[in-house]
A and B are shown apart, each in its own frame.
Chain A
């Protein structure tokens, strides 16, 4: 890990070491907000911002954070950032903040943010931590958007709310897949993505 270039660090976090498909972190929100692409996009942007900034700040302070209370301090920093994002959303993107409802608040407990803070930012310089946070955020976003694309397209026949496949119930020809509208369908889609990424990166497979 130590001799990786910054570029590798960044891109590996998106695909090869993707937090959702390899570490299986952040599954809860991957199920919850992927019914529509618009909400998934906002959630992705928020989480990427929070992860990148939180990792940088924690990395900057890493020499000063007492080891005994480091988790508490990480949580405090992350929670502060999330509340700021939530407040800004409420002020400038009211409709979206209503749709995301509690999930923005739940970024605080999103394992990816904590995982990167504890696993990477605490032992690496700020610029690397920033890239790592950004990469992991984008990796999360990539999965979220892929899942949301399938769920919205096959469940509701729309993409970003624009009708692509006209539904039978609205005088079209497409019979919407009810399962795709339910959060549980994201399990199947995430599993398929894990399979796909493992075929591309055989190193992800367990030996034996």
Chain B
């Protein structure tokens, strides 16, 4: 053991802290590009998974290129021409914080606990033989510990869920973290977002959702994940409500294919 004196101890500790922090900071900075590229790839993959286009082992970027990326104005649901905002450069989360591109949500509107919401959102259109087959919408909202990010894919009728994923969150693994479990997410399929009055009605319940018509607005619960799932229900209420995608979905319920085709200028 080294001879002990307070200055020497302090010096050793400081030196070690310096070396260690340099190492950690160096690695974090050095690997950041790769990590961010991975994250973008993961987002693409999840969009494909939600739209049921993903094949394991396939080239994600090539597959993703078949999906049409558009930007919509959430206020009225109209498409924003790419000259005004280019989808490839649009960062939705940064937009929410931007004073021009986002706005603060008053507490009574802020069901998903977002604080601020962007005025524009990316949407992903999946076409089959030139006709719109699915629309993938980004969703997010607060769970117990973290912001949960995911995608919901809707069928051509813009009401039936075709698929869903959660790809980033900090919920407890094994409990709330089960929201990313594909088996649970498979249960979202064929559920209906809106009820007869056109209000968003889809939510997660405790226990098992009833089969058939009765359970069309209900998603199975996960035991020990109730509060996370309340967050999921809330974010569905928000993103399919008046301040989310409802204006967009209503505007295009009958004619998305035409408009999508006409100002298609990408």
Find out whether the CB atom of B13 lies under 8 angstroms from the CB atom of A73: yes
Find out whether the CB atom of B20 lies under 8 angstroms from the CB atom of A80: yes
**Complex Cα gap A102–B170 (Å):** 9
**Complex Cα gap A26–B260 (Å):** 56
Interface residues of B in 147-195 (CB under 8 A from A): 173-174, 177
Given the complex, which residues of B lie within 8 Å of A88, measured CB to CB?
27, 31
Given the complex, which residues of B lie within 8 Å of A69, measured CB to CB?
9, 12-13
> Shortest CB–CB separation between residue A184 and chain B, in angstroms?
12
Interface flag for A72 (CB, 8 Å): yes
Given the complex, which residues of A lie within 8 Å of B174, measured CB to CB?
32, 183
Find out whether the CB atom of B173 lies under 8 angstroms from the CB atom of A65: no
When C-beta atoms are compared, the residue in chain B nearest to A93 turns out to be B38
Find out whether the CB atom of B23 lies under 8 angstroms from the CB atom of A68: no
Find out whether the CB atom of B28 lies under 8 angstroms from the CB atom of A87: yes
Majority SS at the chain B contact face: helix
Interface string of B3-34 (1 = CB under 8 A from A): 01000110011001100100110011001001
Q: Given the interface contacts A83-B24, A84-B27, A87-B28, does A66 sit within 8 Å of B38 by beta carbon?
A: no
> Shortest CB–CB separation between residue A187 and chain B, in angstroms?
16
> Shortest CB–CB separation between residue A178 and chain B, in angstroms?
13
Given the complex, which residues of A lie within 8 Å of B4, measured CB to CB?
66-68
Given the complex, which residues of B lie within 8 Å of A92, measured CB to CB?
34
Find out whether the CB atom of B13 lies under 8 angstroms from the CB atom of A94: no
Interface flag for B1 (CB, 8 Å): yes
> Shortest CB–CB separation between residue B210 and chain A, in angstroms?
21
Not counting A79-B20, A87-B24, A103-B173, a sample of 12 additional A-B residue pairs whose C-beta atoms are within 8 angstroms of each other reads: A64-B2, A65-B1, A67-B2, A77-B16, A80-B20, A87-B28, A87-B35, A90-B35, A90-B38, A91-B35, A94-B35, A94-B41
A: residues with CB less than 8 A from B are 32, 63-69, 72-73, 76-77, 79-80, 83-84, 87-88, 90-92, 94, 98, 101-103, 183
Q: List 9 A-B contacts (CB under 8 A).
A: A66-B9, A69-B12, A72-B13, A76-B16, A76-B17, A83-B24, A88-B31, A91-B38, A103-B173
B: residues with CB less than 8 A from A are 1-2, 4, 8-9, 12-13, 16-17, 20, 23-24, 27-28, 31, 34-35, 38-39, 41-42, 173-174, 177
